[in-house]
A and B are shown apart, each in its own frame.
Chain A
Amino acid sequence: MSNYTDYELIQGVLAGNKDLFSELVTRYKNLVYSVILRMINDREEADDLAQEVFIKLYKNLDKYYPDFKFSTWTIRIATNHVIDYRRKKKQETVPIEDVEFSLTSEDSPESEYIKREQSNELKKIVSELPDMYKIPIVLYHEQGLSYQEISDIVNEPLSKVKNRIFRGRRMLKESLLSLRHKEGISYGL
């Protein structure tokens, strides 16, 4: 099964062989999961979302055309899915009493765990970037994708993608600077 190209596997699934889909999941689960985790910063939610993304991929598999690499199409669906998910989540407005409750429960073991996860400076400042900068930055610097691939994923012209990455780097630099000033770290400059 691992000798097949992505496209051959997809043709097989479309011909009715569901088993072949598991090979596609194996190939792209780490990529999908890590992109989602960078966007959502919560392992449990990322886990559910990754599962939903693969089901969405299966349901839309007959709409995939090999103009793009399958990985490109996969990340595009994953990022759009997370954006939709967050938009819907925001619409479920939180009553004020609940806000207070969630503040007091912050020291639960679970949130301690999340805090430790985010302890890394970089993870923290990346998570604070707006999506339009975060997605290209993560895909370029963490996943090693090319400008062209990112342009296909976010469906924006190459020049715009480059600008966003440059802008995103500058934002990262600024927040890293202020973070380090806050922490009182001096570099003797």
Chain B
Amino acid sequence: MDCESANSLMMKYMDGDLSEHEAARLNHHITECAACKEEFMLYDSIVKDFSALTLVKAPDDLESRVMSSIYALPAYTGQTVSHIMYGFWGLIAVIMSLGALLVMNRDYILEQMALNPSFAPILIFLNPLAASVKTLFAQTQMLVQQAGAVVEPGLNWVVPIAVCSLAVAQFIIYHNEKQRKEKVAE
């Protein structure tokens, strides 16, 4: 046996899973090789020193100090943060879509309101607002058309790129999962 395989047996010895046969082989090499013998003695003393280390005890008052800090903190309510966040974003989504509906149908709404004289004071504010929304829409549309001329050739690349990145992402997920399973199997 060469020194390299002796070394890997020493590692197995430190892991505590050296078979009887391997132990005999390592022993034999050590009797003939002074360098490996010294190495083994050092490794052996490291393992033994580790097992001789007394378990460190945490200070006795650690619990009471931790708990007094924790009593000062808010308690959990059984409702996780993510649920609250779902509620929050759900509400935002509803408000935004209602707003979008109102803006899209503004002409019809304004017409209906004009029929009722009691809306007149509000309409004084709403009509100029509707007008500026209209110009804003027109401007945006123009911008989109101008940008379209530039963006359109690039758009041809978007679909193949998206497909490729999806495939890569899928591969990475699959690869990680496989590695994880192999780790568990080892």
Task: Write the chain A residue with the least CB distance to B71.
Answer: A18
Residues of chain A within 8 A of B186, CB atoms compared: 148, 158
Determine if B66 and A51 form an interchain contact, defined as CB atoms under 8 angstroms apart.
yes
Asked if B183 and A141 sit within 8 Å, CB to CB, the answer is no
Interface size of B by CB at 8 A reads: 39
Query: Contacts A47-B59, A62-B80, A169-B43 hold; do A25 and B11 have CB atoms under 8 A apart?
Result: no
* Interface pair B67/A61, CB less than 8 Å apart: no
Q: Is A99 interfacial (CB-CB < 8 Å)? A: no
Q: Assess whether B62 is in contact with A176, with CB atoms less than 8 Å apart.
A: no
Say whether A1 faces chain B, with CB atoms less than 8 Å apart: no
Interface flag for A26 (CB, 8 Å): yes
The smallest beta-carbon distance between A130 and chain B, in angstroms, is 17
Whether A158 contacts B14 by the Cβ 8 Å rule is no
Chain A 145-179 interface mask (CB, 8 Å, partner B; 1/0): 00010010000011000000010010011001100
Within 8 A of B (CB), among A22-48: 22, 25-26, 29-30, 32-34, 37, 47
Q: A59 at interface (Cβ–Cβ under 8 A)?
A: yes
A13 to B58, CA, bound (A): 23
B129 at interface (Cβ–Cβ under 8 A)? no
Taking a contact as CB atoms closer than 8 A, the residue among A50, A157, A189 that contacts B58 in the complex is: A50
B179 in contact (CB, < 8 A): yes
B77 close to chain A: CB less than 8 A: yes
| A113 CA / B48 CA spacing, docked (Å) | 25
Is the CB of A54 closer than 8 A to any CB of chain B?
Answer: yes
A14 touches B53 (CB 8 A): no
Contact of B38 with A189 in the complex, beta carbons under 8 Å? yes
A70 contacts chain B at the CB level, 8 A cutoff: no
The verdict on A120 contacting B70 (CB below 8 Å), with A15-B78, A151-B183, A169-B43 known, is no
Query: How far, in angstroms, from A144 to B38 measured CA to CA in the complex?
Result: 25
Given contacts A58-B70, A62-B76, contact A172 B46 (CB under 8 A): yes
B34 vs chain A, min Cβ distance (A): 6
List CB contacts (< 8 Å) of B29-54 with chain A: 34, 37-39, 41-43, 45-47, 49-50, 53
Instruction: Say if the beta carbon of B20 comes within 8 Å of chain A.
Output: no
Give 28 CB contacts A-B under 8 Å.
Answer: A14-B80, A15-B78, A16-B75, A16-B76, A18-B75, A22-B66, A30-B55, A30-B56, A30-B57, A33-B56, A47-B59, A47-B62, A50-B58, A54-B62, A58-B70, A62-B80, A122-B53, A141-B14, A141-B47, A142-B50, A148-B183, A148-B184, A148-B186, A166-B11, A176-B42, A177-B38, A187-B38, A189-B37
